[in-house]
Amino acid sequence: MANKLRVIPLGGLGEFGMHMMALRYGDDIIVIDSGMMFPEDELLGVDLVTPDLTYLRDNREHVRALILTHGHEDHIGAVPFFLTELSVPVYGTAFTLALVERRLEEYDLPEEVDLHTITPRQMLEIGPFKIEFIHVTHSIVSAVALAITTPVGVVIHTGDFKVDPTPTDNELFDLHTLADYGKRGVLLLMSDSTNADRLGYSESERAVRPRLEDIFNRAERRILISCFSSSIHRIQQILDISEEFGRKVAIVGRSMTSVSEIAHSLGLLTIPDGVLIRPQDAMDAAPSKVTVLISGTQGEPMSALSRVAVDNHKHISAERGDTVVLSSRIIPGNEKLIYRMVDHLARRGADVMYGSMNPPLHVSGHASVEELRLVLNLVRPRYFVPIHGEYRQMDKHARLAEHLRHSGMEETFVMTTGDTLEIDQHGARRGERVPVGRVCIDSGSVDEVVEDVVIRDRRHLSEDGIVLPIIAISKHTGRIEGIPELVSRGFTGAENGASELMQAARQVVQRTLETSNPEEMTDWGVMKEKIRADLKRYIQKQTSRRPLIMPVILEI
């Protein structure tokens, strides 16, 4: 192990999300990022998925620090779970750490967390590693790349980036520092491959402004605009354009509100004087003078925009003639949810703008082919490992680097999570695989980690049983056909639904149905979530048990 650098990807190579990379030299390990991913549909009852920490747990006495490149969930979402297992200092920019603290508030961690704020160009020494933080442009503010000097040479980890020549905050990608390292010699480059299959350049964040101005020019009534809450550049543009057009802005949705407050408190978001109004006042103001900045771009069933779409938000409604703008990309897998939400908004008479158009409504935060080539040419590493992306993107990125073989690059390694790379004075080679995998997390508690979803479900069923509320709904009218049925197994003695508890539970389901409006009734995604939440709350209160509740809605 001595005099040898080991590169150990624990998540994020060959998959989107769940980014985590360990570097080990001798008895010292540093970890870069600790991200999560959202589960696929088949992982029933799982809220989020995090990397398996077995390797780090087995070597806990050697883990020195966790270093964060930026504040997106796929890079910081698993920090609470990481810190329950490994109590180490965490380093990141002020904005990144503020987002981490917001996540940590949701969990009850056993001890105080040791957070250290860093700034670009700062140098940090941890054991044999000297780390310099390099400012990069991305779709979130305060993102950094890492230049890590090790006893065997310099390793550059780009984090997520694009090369934006005209960022809205005028904080340019620090290409000079990157080029300086390239001149002095870089042992290994690990670079973001997310858009390696996209030709040309990713457009600048400023490219969105002409489209937004056009929308504001044409809109005669209210504008409801949704973007990722972490897109501070986009939020800034929306606030500035709203002020120019004499519109007040209501910020709606928990994540949108809290992230805007964090960015504003750190001086990363400038809110024009007098532009904000309270969400509860938005509907009373003249429709032509209001912008609603709202969370829920991905059609999540209980998000603010989804509630507005089915007219179930306490402050905001979408009305005929309003303009609704989804200023974000459609994350693969979310198409159904998003299009269902768009359908509801269209039924309300709103003009919904989404998807690709020119000028764009949304630009990518990741580098396309020409920017990836630029970074490769500036750094000119001896070895190259594409990171962040599925295998096809990493393979494309590896092919992009082929031209560097004429100018000193010796080898490219396309690795997946769990593969390792060993580098010493004799060169680089693949090492032994380490244990990796996915950990499924249920209901947002750091204690409810389930390493295998099948075992989790079996245990859940064996302890608390299953309750199936069965509701027949007319596909066309949204009307309930008959009384909801409740079928349970392994939960109560009276499995046929005859007990008092089950009768009362049927009433709970009935009440949920009766208090839902017609549009919610035709959106079975929303209805299942509402029935599950209400029934879970009632059963837990009555019995202190948590059966698996799986509403079945029959469209007839």
pLDDT band at 397, cuts 50/70/90? very high
| HSE value, Cβ hemisphere, 13 Å, CA-based, for 474 | 8
Q: Which pLDDT tens digit goes with each residue over 209-218? A: 999 999 999 9
Q: Rounded mean pLDDT of 72-87?
A: 93
User: What letter represents residue 388's amino acid?
Assistant: H
Q: Which CATH architecture has domain 205-353?
A: 3-Layer(aba) Sandwich (3.40)
Q: Distance between CA atoms of 302 and 84, rounded to whole angstroms?
A: 29
Tell me: pLDDT of 108 over 80.
Answer: no
**Could you confirm whether domain 5-200+364-429+436-441 is CATH 3.60.15.10?**
yes
Q: Does residue 106 or residue 395 have the better pLDDT?
A: 395
The percent of residues above 70 in pLDDT, for the chain, comes to 93
Residue ranges per domain, the chain?
Answer: 5-200+364-429+436-441, 205-353, 456-555
**β partners of residue 353:** 325
pLDDT band at 453, cuts 50/70/90? low
In contact, 137 and 112? CB cutoff 8 Å:
no
Q: Which pLDDT tens digit goes with each residue over 320-363? A: 999 999 999 888 778 888 999 999 999 999 999 998 888 899 99
- CA 239 vs CA 51, 166, 289, 405: distances in Å: 37, 19, 13, 48
φ, ψ of residue 279 to 5 degrees: the values are: -55, -35
pLDDT of residue 499: 78
pLDDT of residue 465: 84
- CA 378 vs CA 138, 173, 373, 391, 483: distances in Å: 19, 13, 9, 24, 68
Q: Distance between CA atoms of 144 and 93, rounded to whole angstroms?
A: 8
Q: Does residue 457 or residue 353 have the better pLDDT?
A: 353
pLDDT band at 179, cuts 50/70/90? very high
pLDDT band at 449, cuts 50/70/90? low
Helix axes 254-265, 94-104, angle to 10 degrees: 140
- Beta strands 143-150 and 153-157 are antiparallel
Global confidence as pTM: 0.83
Tell me: pLDDT of 166 over 80.
Answer: yes
In contact, 133 and 43? CB cutoff 8 Å:
no
Q: Which pLDDT tens digit goes with each residue over 22-74? A: 999 999 999 999 999 877 665 655 678 889 999 999 999 999 999 999 999 99
DSSP-derived secondary structure for 323-342? EEEE-S---TT-HHHHHHHH
pLDDT band at 514, cuts 50/70/90? confident
| Strand intervals (E) in 108-233 | 115-117, 123-126, 129-136, 143-150, 153-157, 188-192, 223-226
Q: Rounded mean pLDDT of 404-409?
A: 86
User: What letter represents residue 5's amino acid?
Assistant: L
The mean-pLDDT minimum among 279-288, 350-359, 414-423 falls in 350-359
Class of domain 456-555: alpha beta
DSSP 8-state class, residue 253: S
Q: Which pLDDT tens digit goes with each residue over 133-163? A: 999 999 999 999 999 999 999 999 999 999 9
Q: Which pLDDT tens digit goes with each residue over 241-277? A: 999 999 999 999 999 999 999 999 999 999 999 999 9
**β partners of residue 145:** 134
Tokens of 502: 């089950």
pLDDT of residue 489: 82
Residue 104's closest CA among 448, 444, 449, 451? 444
pLDDT of residue 493: 55
Coil vs helix vs strand at 30: strand
Q: Distance between CA atoms of 520 and 236, rounded to whole angstroms?
A: 33
Q: Rounded mean pLDDT of 436-449?
A: 67
In contact, 527 and 553? CB cutoff 8 Å:
yes
Coil vs helix vs strand at 429: strand
pLDDT of residue 452: 58
**β partners of residue 385:** 190
